[in-house]
Amino acid sequence: MNIKVKFFALALSMLMLLPSSVKADEGMWLLSLLGKNYSDMQQKGFKLTADDIYNINQSCIKDAIVGLGNAGSPFWHFCTAEIVSDKGLLTTNHHCGYGQIQEHSTVEHDYLRDGFWAYTMEEELPNPGLTASILVRVEDVTKEVLAVLNDDMTEVERNKAIADVSKKISDKAKEGTNYEATVKSMFNGNQFFLFVHNIYKDVRLVGAPPSSMGKFGGDTDNWMWPRHTADFSMFRIYTAPDGSPAEYSKDNVPLKPKHHLPINIKGVEENDFAMIMGFPGTTNRFVTSYGLEEVMDITNKLRYEIRTQKINVWKAAMNADQAVKIKYASKYASCSNYWKYSNEQNKALKALNTIGVKQDIERRYNEWAKGKDAKYQNVLSEIEKMVTARKPYMAARTYLAEGLLSGPELPMMAFGIYNMLSQADEQTSVQDKQAILDEIMKEVKTFYKDYDQTLEEKTIATMFEYVYKNIEPEYCPEFLAEINKKYKGNFEKYAADAMKKSVFANEETFTKFMEKPNLKKLAKDPMVVAGLGAYVEYVAVAKKVKNAAPDMDRMQRLFVYGLLDMNGNKPIAPDANSTIRCTYGNCLAYEPRDGVYYSYYTTLDGVMEKEDPMNPEFIVPAKLKELWAAKDYGRYANKKGELPTCFITNNDITGGNSGSPVMNAEGHLIGLAFDGNSEAMSGDIDFEENMQRCINLDVRYMLFIIDKFAGAKNLINEMTIIE
């Protein structure tokens, strides 16, 4: 049977299977197929119907779930939010809104430090470039895509055919509407789905607690339980007067959503049903043991080691200067999040013997492959050969990417500006040339807003020296070797000289240069030389990675196809790829190790127990202490008189799910997902059913802060609160 016909038949048979074979706590399920899980969801306590979650003909929960993205890549959602009022009010995580809060902050009005609250809609702050996506519908288009593919195609030919047919499908879906559409691959290119969204472009900041609450625990508590972090912020979607998506305008009006989530403050008990919907970013659960070794020994290990150098430099500077702290807050948070993730994931993968789990799967795959087409029989051995062959190049690529391309900021910014000026120089039209020059000045203004020359100089010295000393010499960019030779290993002296000579050192020197731009002069600028040198070497190494594993995509696709076939009567959720998913389970405590028991919830008492006035990660605002001392919790206390702060469930989430709504059996909002637990950081690669926990902010703590701490009664009155 032709592979595409056979797979389509297999996919259909999988969808007809009884849901009793599904393991509820594992799986990021596509909404359109969720009905097949329905009886299992009911057994877990779910009280609604599948149509209440996803229905294209009537309002349902999916209409209240929002993917937060950027205008340049609207289909890649960095976080999730949910609509909680009939006026388009959104709740999401504090760390999801961190960049916007930082953008609006100054030393005089430090919203990161002090928090921000709009007590009227007129006070809400616009955020150019921030988008909010709401799913309209999802369709299985596997048959249409596979119809243009055949087994004789090269991967390049196959990818082009997929891109061409996907564009036709998405263009047809958008025709005559305000919608945006994209076709996404599932199961490593074995299945395809069309996603149609409404993408709103006017999203305004409404509120956020101080970072001492929204980031309470900082890097120390990140990925840890028990947790006491008020990780939330609030936004609002605005539309044109006719309800259509529109760029920011004073004439825009609040969104009138098809559905918004009621907020339930009755409380969460152990074993209660819990459902999460959101936009999980990326998982890699079909990776082989060989690929996993690569992740652990190269990607995670080197990322952690390299970022440690940068984080130490940045942290010291931020602690010493409030202005620097504001400028670098969002960038530091982004860098440190996966810095710690990489290290904690490696610990969990080793502790849980995930490589052994993968090897067991591979043994079963090889048994399955013996009686199948020859192309399946050598899949794993071919993958092993390619992973081994590319190992030195993968290490070099990581040093170049983490240490140079995304280490210091000036070199790549300078290289990009040089390229733009080169394009401007080639223009014959004065108007076209001026348009590029205007764009350059716009980019530069944005860059220097969150930049400190002294800190960048230290970062350049630190990262350049670290890469030079640790990367294999044959992959070391030539400019680094020249710096080492000329300055006799003194990279600090080089960085100081480079800053004196570079027109990119600060906004003033660059603006002055642009009065009479000279492309030849710019080509010799030390930052352009460094940026170009790093980029050229990275491209060369990336090519070596690809050449060492030319057939990796095909082998991985065949491997995944085999896994689907050999699992026969068990539905499997595809890897996360920033498309909307649903995961369900229960609120559960756990025992991370012998003799240790973790309760399923925490309270405000724990915040006070963790308080440390000498540690910026554990400072507690005076007003919060006053409310705690008076036990002034209002209607948000539990039956014991405690104020719950966070709780845990066994839902299956990953990055991108941050801010996702945690809903009870009736579809009411009970929490906001914001983290995973360190003991099961293997989850993106292999779900650990007994240990994996999702850490969630309790809505009662959120509402308490809005009401009692901030006094934002306007927001409380706007939401539907069920007592």
Active-site positions read 95, 231, 658
**Distance between CA 45 and CA 433 in Å, rounded?**
63
C-alpha–C-alpha distance, residues 198 and 67, integer Å:
10
As to burial, measured by CB atoms within 10 angstroms (0-12 exposed, 13-18 middle, 19+ buried), residue 689 is: middle
CA distances from 540 to 12, 394, 533 (A): 43, 12, 11
Angle at 672 between CA 668 and CA 673, to 5 degrees: 125
Which of 395, 170, 381, 383 has the alpha carbon at shortest distance from 302? Answer: 395
Per-position DSSP letters for 97-146, written without gaps between them: SHHHHHHT--SSS-HHHH-EE-SSGGG-EE-TTEEEEEEEEEEE-HHHHH
User: Residue 175 has which token pair?
Assistant: 């025709």
In the numeric block, the tokens 């970072």 are attached to: 211
Q: Are the C-beta atoms of residues 626 and 637 closer than 8 Å to each other?
A: no
Q: Who contacts 283 (Cβ-Cβ below 8 Å, separation ≥6)?
A: 28, 575, 576, 654, 683, 684, 685
* DSSP notation for 311-339: HHHHHHHHHH-HHHHHHHHHHHHHHHHHH
Structure tokens at 691: 């240990």
Q: Which residues pair with 139 in a beta bridge?
A: 194
The whole-angstrom separation of Cα 233 and Cα 212 is 13
| Nearest-angstrom CA–CA distance, 586 and 652 | 11
> Helix, strand or coil for residue 693?
coil
Q: Which residue has the tokens 């352009």?
A: 528
Of 114, 101, 111, 277, nearest in space to 204 by CA: 101
65/276 Cα distance (integer angstroms): 10
Whether the Cβ atoms of residue 536 and residue 479 lie closer than 8 Å to each other: no
3-class state of residue 94 by DSSP: coil
Residues 6+ apart with CB under 8 A from 470: 399
Strands 263-264 and 721-722, how do they pair?
parallel
CA–CA gap between residue 665 and residue 698 (Å, rounded): 16
Q: Could you tell me whether strands 65-70 and 79-83 are parallel, antiparallel, or unpaired per DSSP bridges?
A: antiparallel
Q: Is the dihedral of CA 535, 536, 537, 543 positive or negative?
A: positive
Instruction: List, in sequence order, the alpha helices (H) in 516-572.
Output: 519-523, 526-548, 552-566
Three-state SS at 246: coil
Runs of H (alpha helix) within 211-321: 211-214, 218-221, 289-294, 301-320
Q: Write out 177-229 in H/E/C secondary structure.
A: CCCEEEEEEECCCCEEEEEEEEEECEEEEEEECCHHHHCCCHHHHCCCCCCCC
